Structure 1
């Protein structure tokens, strides 16, 4: 098994056969061409996440497969360490600044904001008789919501979406040099925009997340660059996780009539569906770690400075932990056991927000329709070595109030 198998075009669309085969022969494998260890087993990943002292996040690594086999490149200095790529105490200080804004209580108070973003988008899609769920809802709603949470103008959400997509493309590993240059320019524009937003927030003593970070910059707790990059991470990671989850949840419903009927009969189980959706398709394929000292993981000796990629999707389908791992089970005994939102000090700040948006989106779609199913081209995934998000998801719908769904409710023969 080589990086050509793990990061091939086929594996980017459906990675699980390759990951299953690899995991069956061991939980940790060294890909010589990448100079990278991939970690697949649930327990092995849990070990890494529990020991940030040995397995540092302070590694800015980018996979690249734009020309030939995938390769890992690592930024050597010059990076700004915040949240995703920082260790304590810096990580702890920066996380503490904003975590209260993403608590379950704070997210509960955003119900009207989430609804105001979701309902018009779903209503428009249903009125049209269906369409591309990703384009119409899944990529639009999350950026609008996270922009509101941060305190950015609602009128800027389309530009924020474009910048966020550019940031994701920059680390996709499959962009051409020309696309990388364009994406880098967009991210620089994005960072400059957020830096200016911080400056305004400081001068106006603004409230919200933007105000909190601006105050930290003003007091010297973090630099202006750190504040801007922290905001970039909050927008891109928050939006990406939710966009992926919205796509997966609706794909599962639209492709499984029995599951859809169950949820329509008992909407109280939508939360369980969302949890299974994020387990079976982790929004991020993996994250990187680097060893600070020699270590032994799942029987494999790691040198100091070893680079690891934790493959969430492999661990979330580990049959030693999840019975029938490839199947959606609304009655799974420990629904939040998966690693899709990380664990420990790097647990995803936006997890509660992503769940809330997904539950509300699914509920709104089901209430607005009597049936939903897949139509048009086969759903495909965005080409990326880092994120796992549907590029498009064509669905047909029967609006609520229309006749009850027959056995084959949507006739595509015309």
Structure 2
């Protein structure tokens, strides 16, 4: 029998949306698999259970067919995306063998040499934005750099050009909204309208680059459509996923990293004096403040997970964020330790066949941004008048605002 979170409304409380970790600890203490109220949705929160789920492809599908939303009574309910016509199963939400086909297409445009070629321009953009922040005595780091930098990278990868940067940034930060589970009717209508505009724009761009044989990721997908490997609809779906995967997740990482050392002057100075510590610091940030708190899996057939009987079409909330703070995996999991030996084994970029193919790019962006931020400033602190605030989402862990005082 599954453990049950009887107060399932707690998932959508303001406290849990801003800081979900106490609730994750509670659910982990109930068991590795925890039923969410009376729904057929189950929170999977231990490291061992999460890694087991993502390796059992025959039992648990990555297809995004259902999601959790807040009902009118404040309790979670399962929303049928497939029935509503909003399911899109490509790349991260595709199962084998389609997933392997989709992933192979991205290997060439995301190879190490292609990523490294972006660094000089990436660094120049970061330096310019940091200098402006310092000259102003601080400001909102999210608006100044955490969101524009990954949006610029998405534009370069997809060959969109700077003229589309404003729309790219808006769309890149919108991906998690749909899965937030907290949207009211008006905001949901806005998101769906914007998603329609995004799809139309990307489809037109895909048509425009067809046959061009340039080195953009869009051109690679256009070639795959021409050769019959994928449909145009699948190509557009992959582009949409890449907006969020390459945009919102990196914005999350940057904001969380800066908040953590803005709150800790000693840590900040260690990183400033020894930039070689930044890569290890970023791994701890991803572990502690995992950008995507979970991904969904759908049960294919009756089976058991850690002793819990699961039925076909049950929904699993596979929580990377909870697993990354599992005390069975890491001593003192709530503490940031630069020298943590097991830090590289976190699940912040996923696990198994769906491990984030863009992880090297995210690491590069974050490292470059922090190097420039720390080298071009003497002191970074939180603005006491404006507390950091996260977007109210079940799915994404991203700061909406991060106001800083800087010299």
Query: What's the CA shift for 1:138?
Result: 0.6
Aligned to 2:264: 256
Residue 111 of structure 1: which of 114, 119, 142 is its match? 119
1:144-223 alignment, distance < 5 Å: 144-223=152-231
Partner SS, residue 79 of structure 2: strand
Q: What pairs up with 1:283-298 in 2 under 5 angstroms? A: 283-298=291-306
2:400 match:
391
Please say if residues 173 and 247 of structure 2, whose CA atoms lie closer than 8 Å, have aligned partners that are also in contact.
no
Rate the CA distance shift 1:265–1:207 in 2: closer, same or farther, 3 A.
closer
Instruction: Name stretches of at least 5 consecutive residues in structure 1 with no aligned partner.
Output: 399-414
Residue 75 (1) aligns with residue 81 (2):
yes
Do 1:103 and 1:352's aligned partners in 2 also have CA atoms closer than 8 Å? no
Kindly indicate whether residue 99 of structure 2 is the aligned counterpart of residue 91 of structure 1.
yes
Aligned to 1:369, the other structure's residue is in SS state: coil
Which moves more between the two structures, 241-250 or 367-376? Answer: 367-376
Worse-matched range after superposition: 52-61 or 98-107 = 98-107
The alpha-carbon deviation at position 203 of structure 1 amounts to 4.1
Give the structure-2-normalised TM-score: 0.94
CA distance in 1, matches of 2:88, 2:32: 32
Report deviation, 1:224: 0.8
Judge which range, 155-164 or 72-81, deviates more: 72-81
Which stretch shows the higher mean deviation, 125-134 or 159-168? 159-168
- Deviations along 1:57-93, whole A, 9 cap, x unmatched? 0133232227422322122254332112110111110
1:127 corresponding residue in structure 2 = 135
What are the equivalent positions in structure 2 for 1:213-362 lying under 5 Å apart? 213-362=221-370
Moved more, 36-45 or 143-152: 143-152
Equivalent in the alignment of 2:13: 8
Preserved contact between residue 66 and residue 175 of structure 1 (Cα < 8 Å) = no
Show structure 2 runs of 5+ residues with no match. none
| 3-state SS in 2 of match to 1:30 | strand
Distance 2:124 2:201 in 1: 25
298-307 vs 47-56, greater mean Cα deviation: 298-307
Contact 1:285 1:313 in 2 (8 A): yes
Query: Which region of structure 1 is more displaced relative to structure 2, 292-301 or 253-262?
Result: 292-301
Partners of 2:111 and 2:35 in 1: how far apart?
38
In the TM superposition, residue 240 of structure 1 has moved relative to its aligned partner by 0.9
Q: Secondary structure at the match of 2:345?
A: coil
Compared CA separation, residues 28 and 279, structure 1 to 2 (3 A)? same
User: Is it true that 1:34 corresponds to 2:39 in the alignment?
Assistant: yes
Determine which of 19, 24, 28 is the counterpart of 1:19. Answer: 24
Match of 1:55 among 56, 60, 64: 60
Q: Distance in 2 between matches of 1:193 and 1:43?
A: 42
Q: Pick from 124, 137, 141: which aligns with 2:145?
A: 137
Q: Deviations over 1:166-210 (max 9, x none)?
A: 333222211111111111011111011111111011143333211
- Number of equivalent positions: 398
> Contact between 2:134 and 2:377, CA under 8 Å: does it hold in 1?
yes
* Partner residue in 2 for 1:404: none
Contact 1:164 1:236 (C-alpha < 8 Å) held by counterparts: yes
Q: Is the 8 A contact 2:174 2:244 kept in 1?
A: no
What is the CA RMSD across the aligned residues, in angstroms?
1.5
Deviation of the 1:356 alpha carbon:
0.7
CA distance in 1, matches of 2:32, 2:207: 47
Helix, strand or coil at the partner of 2:107: helix
Secondary structure in structure 1 of the residue aligned to 2:343: coil
Deviations 1:22-80 (A, max 9, x none): 21221111113432010000000010111222111013323222742232212225433
- Structure 1, 89-98 or 103-112: larger mean CA deviation: 103-112
